Amino acid sequence: MGYPPVLRERRRYIAFEVMANSDFTENQVIQALKQSVLTFLGELGYADSDFDVVFYDHSSKQGIARSTDKNEYNVIAAISLIPSILGKTVGVKVFGVSGTVNKAKSKFLNKNLLNREKQIIER
């Protein structure tokens, strides 16, 4: 038997993009994100934030991470501060936060993919 809805932590889904010249595997990016959050928040904060990467698209380098509503800003700060993956400089851009995975995909990721395709066509 689970907790009643009043006692459950509310989840937030953070849409992000990894900006890098190099290609990294999905696992390498996920491990770098988790390590950054662990380093920034510590073990107790990491456990409290319920951080996880829910979705990552290797071709567009975009993904969605999960956090609790109380720690969403700490997690955003932690993933924004990733300096490098495997010694190669990267940047992580956060698009926005949503209450559901589907809204995060449709609101942030698809729109940015469409804008990028328009820019490529216009050139």
Residues 104, 95: Cα–Cα separation, whole Å: 9
Instruction: Report phi then psi at 96, rounded to 5.
Output: 170, 180
Token code pair at residue 23: 């290609």
Integer Cα distance of 113 and 122 in angstroms:
14
Q: Give the whole-angstrom CA distance, residue 10 versus residue 112.
A: 26
Rounded CA separation 112/123 (Å): 17
The sign of the torsion formed by the CA atoms of 29, 109, 112, 82 equals: negative
Tell me the CATH number of domain 11-122, given options 3.40.1390.10, 3.30.70.240, 3.40.50.2300, 3.30.70.3250.
3.30.70.3250
**How do the domains of the chain map onto residue ranges?**
11-122
- pTM of the entire predicted model: 0.84
pLDDT in tens, the chain (123 residues): 788 888 888 999 999 999 998 889 999 999 999 999 999 999 999 999 999 999 998 888 999 999 999 999 999 999 999 999 999 999 999 999 999 999 999 898 876 554 554 555 555
Which strand (E) or helix (H) includes residue 39?
helix 26-49
Give the number of other CB atoms < 10 A from CB of residue 72: 19
Contact between 14 and 108 under an 8 Å Cβ cutoff? The reply is no
| Pair of tokens at residue 36 | 């950054």
